[in-house]
Amino acid sequence: MNPIICREAEELIVEDLDEGLDPGGKNRLENHLQTCSKCVRMREDMRMMVAAASSDMPQDPNEDFWKSFDRGLEARIREREPAKRNRRLWQVALPALAAAGIIIAVFGLTIDRHHPGVGKMSATSDIVIDDVHQIFGPSRDELGPSMNSGITMVLNGVTDEAVVRWFEVEDESSQSFL
C-alpha cells in the first residue's frame, strides 16, 4: 500500500468528519496519522471547528414569533391578492376583447363585401330613393299628410327585393272584435 501524502490526508480527514470513511480509507488515514503530527493537529482543529459550528445555533424563536410570522404572511398574501386577481381578470378579459374585436371586424367586412351600400349610405341613399320612386311612387312625406295611407320601409343599402312594399294599414275602427 502506498503511503498517502498530507494533501490526501486532509481530504480524508474532512470526509471522515463529514460522512465517514470506508474501512480501507480509514485504515490508510490512521496509518498516515501515526507518522504525521501535523495532520494529527489538523484533524483536531477540524474536528473542533465542525463541532463548534454545529453547536453554534441561534436560539429557536418563541411562540410569539411564530404567531407574528403567520399573521404577517397572511397579511402580505392578502395584500397581493387583489392585484393578482386584477391581473388574472385582465389575462382573461384581454383575449376576450381581442376576439370580440376580430369578430366585429370580420363580420363588418363580410357585410361590406356582400352589401356595398353599407357604410356608404349617404352616397347611395339618393339612388335608392329614386329607384323606389320609380317603382312605387313618392313617399308619404313627399305627398303630404293627406296622402298618408301606408308605410314605406327602405332598408338602406339593400337591393330592391328587400324594399318592403306599400301596404295598406287597416283602419282600426273597421276591425270587428265580435
Partner 1 sequence: MNDADLIREFRNGNIDVFSELVAKYSRPLTIMILRIVRDQEEAKDISQTVFLKAYEGLPRFMLASSFKTWLYSIALNAVKDHLRKNRKARMVEADPDQLEDSSESPADRLDAARMSKNLREAMEMLPEKQRLTFQLRIYENLDYKEIARILGGTAGGARGNFFQAVKTLRERLIGWNGDERTGL
User: What are the residues binding partner 1 (CB under 8 A)?
Assistant: 10-11, 14-15, 17-18, 42, 45-46, 48-50, 52-61, 65-66, 68-70, 72-73, 76-77, 80, 84
Q: Which three cell numbers stand for residue 40?
A: 494529527
Cβ proximity to partner 1: between 50 and 155 the closer is 50
Tell me the closest approach of the beta carbon of residue 34 to partner 1, in angstroms.
Answer: 21
Tell me the closest approach of the beta carbon of residue 55 to partner 1, in angstroms.
Answer: 8
Q: Which three cell numbers stand for residue 127?
A: 339612388
The number of C-alpha atoms within 13 Å of 133 and in the hemisphere containing its C-beta is 10
Beta bridge partners, 168, equal 150
- Tell me the one-letter amino acid at 126: D
Residue 153 CA to residue 164 CA, distance in Å, equals: 5
Residue 110 CA to residue 102 CA, distance in Å, equals: 12
Tell me the closest approach of the beta carbon of residue 28 to partner 1, in angstroms.
Answer: 17
Tell me the closest approach of the beta carbon of residue 2 to partner 1, in angstroms.
Answer: 21
Cβ proximity to partner 1: between 80 and 165 the closer is 80
